[in-house]
């Protein structure tokens, strides 16, 4: 038997469509500006099937305006909307903001920090995160040793880890001390915990891992835990670095 699509409150569905925040949607509904299948509704909790019901705002089936934001993710937060273990997630950084539904574009693990994107446009996000065509991602990684030229070459040549060839597109020394150093590592593909697993294959401990850029979008001086909206030019620049892939979402 085919499962029925779930129904949610109208304000929640409007927010998930990216038309506005849930608070804004509730106000629009109370003002009588929203119709479901041609019927005016004034209850923000009116049950709606997002997959099959026709929702209009001011008589129009509005396509949500595309929104992309960048966050300087702090260390210790999970890249998830919610966590079964009760750990803090990246959405804690948006708690005081009135934002529509946004999904992470790619991920950073709990111990990693730096540039993390969010968007309400799944097709755009799929282009940016496509493993073979998405823009390069640059990381600064503090390791518990001082590398030599041979090690940097090994990181670019790669290593087999759990049946996968993990490699850096480019690995270079940023600065070094007596016992540790900072590397710049550029990836042209996205695999789970790729940098940590690659370095572990060479018995190298990671002290800090910070994503500093995606394509030509730089983290810059954005404060830890702060976020900002990307301009349309920045959004298009990231998409142009990721040519459209036939049959991609």
pLDDT in tens, 169-222: 999 999 988 899 999 999 998 788 999 999 999 999 999 999 999 999 999 999
Instruction: Quote the number of domains for the chain.
Output: 3
Q: What is the rounded average pLDDT of the residues 223-241?
A: 90
| 164/101 same-domain check | no
Confidence (pTM): 0.75
| 204/152 same-domain check | yes
Q: What is the 3-state secondary structure (H, E, C) of the chain?
A: CCCCCCCEEHHHHHHHCCCCCHHHHHHHHHCCCEEECCEECCCCCCEECCCCCCEEECCECCCCCCCEEEEEECCCCECCCCCCCCCCEHHHHHCCCCCCCCEEECCCCCCCEEEEEEECCHHHHHHHHCCCCCCCEEEEEEECCCCCHHHHHHHHHCEEECCEEECCCEEEEEEECCCCEEEEEEECCCCCCHHHHHHHHCCCCEEEEEEEEECCEECCCCCCCCEEECCHHHHHHHHHCCCCCCCCC
| 157/209 same-domain check | yes
Least confident among 3-17, 27-41, 140-154: 3-17
| 198/141 same-domain check | yes
Average pLDDT over the chain, rounded to whole?
87
| 13/43 same-domain check | yes
Whether residue 2 lies inside any domain: the answer is: no
Catalytic residue positions? 109
* 91-131: pLDDT as tens digits: 999 988 878 778 899 999 999 999 999 998 877 888 888 87
* 70-87: pLDDT as tens digits: 999 999 999 987 778 888
Domain edge (last residue) among 35, 57, 79: 57
Check which CATH number belongs to the domain holding 206 and give it: 3.30.2350.10
Containing structural domain, residue 163:
137-214
Specify the pLDDT at position 3. 44
pLDDT band at 249, cuts 50/70/90? very low
| 224/209 same-domain check | no
| 224/128 same-domain check | yes
| 51/159 same-domain check | no
How much of the chain exceeds pLDDT 90, in percent?
56
């Amino acid at each position: 038997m085919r499962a029925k699509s779930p129904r949610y409150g109208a304000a929640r569905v409007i927010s998930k469509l990216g038309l506005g925040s849930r608070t804004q949607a509730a106000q629009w509904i109370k003002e009588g500006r929203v119709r479901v299948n041609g019927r005016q509704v004034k209850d923000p909790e009116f049950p709606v099937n997002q997959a099959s019901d026709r929702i209009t705002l001011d008589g129009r089936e509005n396509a949500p305006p595309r929104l992309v934001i960048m966050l300087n993710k702090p260390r210790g937060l999970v890249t998830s909307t919610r966590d079964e273990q009760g750990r803090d997630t990246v959405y804690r950084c948006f708690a005081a903001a009135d934002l529509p539904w946004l999904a992470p574009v790619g991920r950073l693990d709990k111990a990693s920090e730096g540039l993390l994107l969010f968007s309400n446009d799944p097709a755009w996000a799929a282009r940016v995160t496509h493993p073979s065509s998405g823009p390069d991602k640059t990381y600064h990684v503090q390791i518990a040793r001082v590398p030599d030229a041979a090690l940097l070459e090994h990181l670019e040549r790669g290593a087999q880890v759990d049946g996968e060839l993990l490699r850096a597109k480019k690995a270079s020394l940023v600065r070094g001390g007596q016992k540790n150093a900072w590397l710049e590592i550029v990836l042209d593909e996205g695999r789970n915990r790729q940098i940590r697993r690659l370095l572990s294959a060479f018995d190298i401990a990671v002290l800090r891992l910070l994503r500093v850029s995606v394509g030509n979008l730089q983290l810059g001086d954005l404060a830890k835990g702060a976020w900002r909206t990307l301009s349309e030019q920045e959004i298009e620049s990231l998409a142009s670095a990721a040519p459209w892939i036939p049959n991609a979402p």
